[in-house]
Amino acid sequence: MEATKEKPVTEEAVAEKAITKEPLAEKEAGKSSSPDRRRVFMGDPKRVLGPQTALENQYDKMEVRQSPLEGFGVFATEKILANTVLEETPVVVWPRIDRCSEGFYRVMKDENFVSKDEINHDKIRTMFGFKHPMKYYFKWFPPNTPRTGPDVTAFQCLPLGYGPIYNSANGLNNAMWEVKEKTFVFKSIRDIEPGEEIQTFYGYMVAEDSTTWPVTDVFGFGLEYVAMEDGSLKVFMRNMRFDNEEQKQTRYKEEAWQKLAQALQKSQGLVTLLRISVLDGDEEKHPFDFPDNFPLNFAFRKLQEFKQTRFKIIKLQYSYREVGSDKEHKETTTFVNYNS
């Protein structure tokens, strides 16, 4: 009897066999016999997705737990080096008509077209401590479209993974994100130590009572609580924020912003606001002295009051200590109140 000739084994045949004929024992264990975890794409066994398509993450070095800042937060369980991709996640984009629906509901409720039972149903959500979904939304911009100005097209979106769980830092965040066409990339911007909470910046300020403040409404002053040696909390200015690069460049041409930047650098982000007032010609008016134990939300509220004043020039007094020195420096500066 003539021996049967064996066909040469190709790489495609090996890949197809690994995909379509998993050993029963490994199937039951929920494992794939393919070492690179290949999967069939669109039903074509010859077209496989290799490991290079996996989105990068550091889930083995992070965990979610209760945060002292607000609700849940994401914490490092191991040291994460600077410029590490924490995760790249798919994103869900909401149709713009959803915001119209919320507006219609608000009008219907105000005009008594919504029953009391329906209104009470929404109270159940807040009773269990769930925040409004707006607290978790990000913005997604279509590719190659402007992100500032009158022609902006922005959508509400929700990055998956840990995306909506990262808490925000008004001043010194240790992580950031960038938006791709269909994914969000969260990345560390400095080394993050084990046990440290990972914080991004939402694009607006957040106070301890969950109130939010647009950056421009509070002069871009990134105020935050800092724990003192005696366990008390004190409000410091830790950073300066801007809505866009153009606004940043405009501000940094002013001497006042240059001085503030130097104070922040010398003190490593520990500048104390002492007094704010306005100038009417050469006359100082409406001075306000910040109390030592002034709450964060009150500080933002006071800054907003001065931002909305009709006066064009703001006068600010602040203090700081250089790192390694006990000497307190007090400085006074003035700056333009744009759009006042």
The token duo for 308 is 């909305």
Q: Name the residue with tokens 């134990």.
A: 293
Read off the pLDDT band of 241 (50, 70, 90).
Answer: very high
Which residues have C-beta within 8 Å of that of residue 321, sequence separation ≥ 6? Answer: 267, 270, 327, 328, 329
Mean pLDDT of 96-116: 71
pLDDT, residue 179, reads: 87
Largest Cα span, the chain: 114
**Mean pLDDT, residues 28-41:** 44
The model's confidence at residue 46, banded by pLDDT at 50, 70 and 90, is low
* pLDDT (0 to 100) of residue 31: 45
**At 339, phi and psi to the nearest 5?**
60, 25
Residue type, 271: V
State the pLDDT confidence band at 287, using cuts at 50, 70 and 90.
very high
Share of the chain above pLDDT 70, in %: 80
H runs (alpha helix) in 255-326: 255-267, 296-307
What average pLDDT does this structure show over 314-330?
93
- Does residue 39 surpass a pLDDT of 60? no
Band (pLDDT 50/70/90 cuts) for residue 74 is: very high
- List, in order, residues 6 or more apart from 216 with CB less than 8 Å away: 243, 247, 307, 339
pLDDT class of 101 with cuts at 50, 70, 90: low
Q: Which residues contact 264 (CB under 8 A, 6 or more apart)?
A: 237, 238, 239, 240, 271, 320
Q: What pLDDT score does 335 carry?
A: 94
The secondary structure of residue 338, as a DSSP letter, is T
What mean pLDDT do residues 207-219 have?
A: 89
